[in-house]
Structure 1
Amino acid sequence: MAPQRQSGGTRALTDDELAAVLDAADVGVLAFGGGTYPYPVPVALGYAAETDRLVVQLEGGPDSEKHRRRSRDGKVGLAVQDRTDDRWRSVLVQGDLREVAYQDAPRAVAALTESAERTPDPVVWSDLRPEETLTAYELVPAKRSGRAYRCE
């Protein structure tokens, strides 16, 4: 399929549009620093617009690459996109990743659970090795931005 040309240029998303893209997203790409190169991984996410809380879930044990990088430097970037036939919107969130108890962010965790149910994910509880866990993290934003593109 040939790439679509942009028409009408791009524009920044409003705060309401940023929230709408995050609210509709089931999956994003979370990039960790703390190494020679960034370490991006796809993650299921949950966003609660009414509380402005964004939660992701990471699997793996303490020796996994993502957990090692998170413990060195909790600063991460998250990229999310929303595409239809005539438009494409992207949101970037940069901030600190902090472990969160499920009961401390119930609406965002409920959204995460719904996302995980809609997203094909090869990791289920029964697949985890004894040293691995599923852990919820809140991405506390330091910076958010988004762009909208109109396609022909």
Structure 2
Amino acid sequence: MRELTAEEVAEVLAHNGIGVLALYDGTRPYAIPMSFGYDGSEAVFAVQFGSGESSRKRDCLDVSTEASFTVYEEPEQGRWRSVVLSGELVEVPEAETDAAFAALATNAEFAPDTSVWGVPLDEVTFTLYRLDIDDCEGREFSMGH
């Protein structure tokens, strides 16, 4: 196992559009797969939430805005790379939404069905969030090395 360089961390984030977002509801962790965008700048790392009237993600954010986000890949058989980002998940201000949408357009992978667990699309709200990164760790593991 070895630590990734800053350039390798940026490469993992730029070449993947899905990760696992981990939040905390005050009792236990809540981790979900989440599409994300990254354009090479920590300031515009953006996660888009879609939810109906009730949302476990929003309930967690009411308890704590601290979050971690894990992105991982297997670039070749027997070799894995992962990046774990930690920080505060904050709503993107209106003045920064164009940059956040541009980050999402860069590499986010969206599900083809935009309905949220059976909630009609006209009842779903989408809010942009960014992760203000306090800590970033990247590692690589290879079989036999």
TM-score normalised to structure 2 length: 0.83
Pair 1:40–1:17, CA change in 2 (3 A) = same
Q: Figure out how many residues of one structure are paired with residues of the other and give that number.
A: 140
Residue 128 (structure 1) aligns with: 121
Over the aligned positions, Cα root-mean-square deviation in angstroms equals 2.4
8 Å Cα contact 1:79/1:91 also seen in 2: yes
Q: Runs in 1 of length 4+ with deviation above 4 angstroms?
A: 124-127
TM-score normalised to structure 1 length: 0.80
1:63-91 C-alpha deviation (Å, 9 max, x unpaired)? 31101111221001101012122421000
The answer for unaligned runs of 5 or more in structure 1 is 1-9
Structure 2 CA distance, aligned partners of 1:30 and 1:133? 19
8 Å Cα contact 1:77/1:95 also seen in 2: yes
8 Å Cα contact 2:39/2:106 also seen in 1: no
Q: Sequence identity, in percent?
A: 32
Structure 2 CA distance, aligned partners of 1:139 and 1:55? 7
Match of 2:129 among 129, 134, 137: 137
The answer for unaligned runs of 5 or more in structure 2 is none
* SS of 2:49 mapped into structure 1: strand
- Deviation, 1:25, is 1.3
Structure 2 CA distance, aligned partners of 1:106 and 1:12? 33
